[in-house]
Amino acid sequence: MTPFKLTDELLAEIELLIESRKDTALKSLMEEIHYADIAEIANDLSEDSATYLIKLLNSDKTSDVLIELDDDVREAILNNMSSKEIAGELDELDTDDAADIIGELPQEIVEEVISEIEDREHARDIVDLLRYHENSAGGLMAKELVKVNENWNVLTCVKEMRAQAENVTRVHSIYVVDDDDKLKGRLSLKDLLTTSTKSPIKDIYIPKVDRVNVNEKPEEVAKIMSKYDLEAIPVVDEIGRLVGRITIDDIVDVIKEEAEKDYQLAAGISQDVEADDSIWELTRARLPWLFLGLMGGIGAAAIMGGFEEMISKHAILFFFTPLIAAMAGNVGVQSSAIIVQGLANDDLKGSISNRLIKEMLLAALNGIILAMVLLLFTWFWKGNFPAAVAISISLVVVIVVAGIIGTFIPLFLNKRGIDPAIATGPFITTSNDIFGILIYFWIAKVILGI
């Protein structure tokens, strides 16, 4: 299979079919295309064309496409659908996806949409899910799962399972609960099939089963599932009752979103934006960090203004401020990135002071190597040996301080319960610029005795 690639030609062809209302040709073309790819197409069409295309699909494809659409496109399409039509799509979807869509609907139509859902048990499950916070295991889980009572025997169990499995796309595990619905363990399909039909489930289930609490953070669930290679995990409430199940495909999305968010924060982009968003959205995501950088630059200028009398004697010092600032920024970003990643992977051990000592040694080693190169260059360039020494010594000190700041800030934020990823990128660069320049001129002043 060559993966589907949305070409400009295909898009133009589809636009044309829609405009000329060639429904039959359009339908048979869509037959061949996976719903995730249809969503990709619809994301690139005009609002009207996308709505037209999606209304043309048969219903279980429509609902799958809806879930895959970009938020704004989905909103536009749902705006053009009646409550009954929306309910019809929700009927086709798993409870977690249906709840996500309801969460995006305008408040005033939510009740109406829910009342139009035909399968009332499905509707109840969806309403249950609405209660959980988006940023929790409860907000990720689906109600679709296969569970059996520990007091049943194998025969009852198999019968019940068949009925339940109808609604579950993929059966990963059969969960065992007690009369209070508390999760007791899981059942292997093999044991079920090889045991006498009269055996009580109690005697054959596996009492050990990984689980997460309904309030657990999605990132934690992702860590657990990827560490233990789980494809599904049951979710329990505060008193241990089985309330849902999270599958690996949702976790893959969590992992990707987390990674994108951290990457964007490191690059100084504060909201979830894409290259195709509007200039206005991109400005809102980028300008605040640039403004921070501007303030940092103004601060640096003010500091340098305080050393103005040095200019007449050692103009060369001023030529190296961009170098000092850049190195302080680079080292700060490097050390903070390593700490942020270590925190995210839970593999930082040892105390904060040990970390700081290690980073100091590392920064000093790198700093000394770089300073020697710089010393030779500056000395030969202007023949001003004292200034060359001052610049090189400053570089070592600045790099060490930058490394310490870069190590300390994310550890500190993490201790305070703040996402350490915000400490990477412009934040660390800007603060290191200022510290770096301040240290630089101060050391130069001491060494050169001005």
Q: Which is nearer to its own copies, 155 or 361 (CB)?
A: 361
Bridge-based pairing of strands 212-213 and 232-236 is: parallel
* Out of 74, 147, 184, 286, the residue judged to bind its own copies by CB under 8 A: 286
Q: With CB under 8 A as the contact rule, which of the stretches 84-92, 103-111, 112-120, 212-220 interacts with its own copies? A: 212-220
The closest of 212, 248, 235, 245 to 145, measured between CA atoms, is 245
Q: CB of 374 within 8 A of CB of 392?
A: yes
140 binds its own copies (CB under 8 A): no
Reading across the β-sheet that carries 183-187, which strands appear in turn?
A: 146-149, 174-177, 183-187
Site string for its own copies, 35-74 (x = CB under 8 A): -x---x---x------------------------------
Nearest distance, CB of residue 83 and its own copies, angstroms: 28
Site for its own copies, residues 345 to 404, rule: CB under 8 A? 345, 347-349, 355, 358, 361-362, 365-366, 369-370, 373-374, 377-378, 381-382, 399
Q: Which is nearer to its own copies, 315 or 418 (CB)?
A: 315
CA atoms of 242 and 254, how far apart (whole Å): 22
Site string for its own copies, 164-203 (x = CB under 8 A): ------x---------------------------------
| DSSP state, residue 421 | G
103 binds its own copies (CB under 8 A): no
* Out of 52, 132, 289, 408, the residue judged to bind its own copies by CB under 8 A: 289
Sign of CA dihedral 33, 34, 36, 39: positive
16 binds its own copies (CB under 8 A): no
Sign of CA dihedral 162, 163, 164, 166: positive
215 binds its own copies (CB under 8 A): no
* Out of 273, 356, 448, 450, the residue judged to bind its own copies by CB under 8 A: 273
What the block records as the tokens of 46 is 């005009």
Q: Which is nearer to its own copies, 117 or 331 (CB)?
A: 331
CA atoms of 402 and 335, how far apart (whole Å): 9
Helices (H), 306-425: 308-313, 315-319, 321-344, 352-382, 385-415
Nearest distance, CB of residue 106 and its own copies, angstroms: 27
Between helix 23-31 and helix 8-19 the angle, nearest 10°, is 140
Q: Which is nearer to its own copies, 141 or 338 (CB)?
A: 338
Q: Looking up tokens 């000093």, which residue turns up?
A: 364
Q: With CB under 8 A as the contact rule, which of the stretches 79-87, 120-128, 151-159, 218-226 interacts with its own copies? A: 218-226
For residue 312, the one-letter residue type is S
Q: Which is nearer to its own copies, 130 or 168 (CB)?
A: 168
CA atoms of 223 and 218, how far apart (whole Å): 9
* Out of 12, 16, 155, 301, the residue judged to bind its own copies by CB under 8 A: 301
269 binds its own copies (CB under 8 A): yes
**CB neighbour class for 158 (10 Å; exposed up to 12, middle 13-18, buried from 19):** middle
Site string for its own copies, 405-434 (x = CB under 8 A): -------------------xxx--xx--x-
Nearest distance, CB of residue 84 and its own copies, angstroms: 28
Concatenating the DSSP letter of every residue in 216-285 gives --HHHHHHHHHHTT-SEEEEE-TTSBEEEEEEHHHHHHHHHHHHHHHHHHHTT--S---TTS-HHHHHHH
CA atoms of 234 and 184, how far apart (whole Å): 11
Site for its own copies, residues 119 to 138, rule: CB under 8 A? none
Nearest distance, CB of residue 446 and its own copies, angstroms: 21
- Residue 194 is inside which H or E element, if any? helix 189-194
Q: Which is nearer to its own copies, 48 or 260 (CB)?
A: 260
Q: With CB under 8 A as the contact rule, which of the stretches 12-20, 88-96, 111-119, 335-343 interacts with its own copies? A: 335-343
Nearest distance, CB of residue 118 and its own copies, angstroms: 23
* Out of 298, 383, 418, 446, the residue judged to bind its own copies by CB under 8 A: 298
Size of the site for its own copies (CB under 8 A): 110
CA atoms of 270 and 248, how far apart (whole Å): 27
Q: Which is nearer to its own copies, 21 or 415 (CB)?
A: 415
Nearest distance, CB of residue 358 and its own copies, angstroms: 7
- Residue 56 is inside which H or E element, if any? helix 47-56
Site string for its own copies, 72-91 (x = CB under 8 A): --------------------
